[in-house]
A = this chain, B = another copy of it.
């Protein structure tokens, strides 16, 4: 990794742990293994580093959202896949998605940074909500909606069903971000959640 990218990487780590204002340029430089003034050959200011991180994050989020959309673009097929899934397989899929959010290093650090900075930056608040509320609700809404249309799940209110499916994942994610030690318990609870959801909405047990 080049120096320029390493600066972004170390800065992101620090911003996600302490917030922008609590990170000093010298600190970033030190981690990269250079002195603070050298850093200014790569970025013209501390703010420019932050902006570059945000831009990189937007690109990644956009790409990930697009991939979800592509998958969601052939929804009949997706729903067909889900129809044939055993409950165990469904649990595995759900927990894999959760595990990815928690363990993908960039994703996790971006999210923690957004959590800290959201209240004094409207753009970041929107990014957070798109990524962790609206996009997932849309994606799972499409999928669960198709399963409902096919009679795999039974409901006359897909929006509410989707909220009930996704909200526990969201909550447990914020818990594990704060305290990674709670991950095993979170996984256990989410597994029970998926099985229970499956039962409640009428899939065979």
Q: Which residues of A contact B (CB under 8 A)?
A: 16-19, 21-22, 112, 115-116, 118-120, 125, 128-129, 133, 155, 157, 159-161, 163-164, 166-168, 170-171, 174-175, 178-179, 189, 192-193, 196-197, 200-201
Tell me the bound Cα distance from A119 to B14 in angstroms.
11
Contacts of A115 in B (CB 8 A): 115, 118-119
Contacts of A159 in B (CB 8 A): 189, 192
> How many copies of the polypeptide does the oligomer hold?
2
Question: With A160-B189, A178-B118, A193-B163 given, is the CB distance from A171 to B133 under 8 Å?
Answer: yes
16 contacts between A and B (CB under 8 A): A17-B120, A19-B21, A21-B21, A22-B120, A115-B118, A115-B119, A116-B116, A125-B179, A157-B192, A160-B189, A163-B189, A163-B192, A163-B193, A167-B168, A167-B171, A170-B171
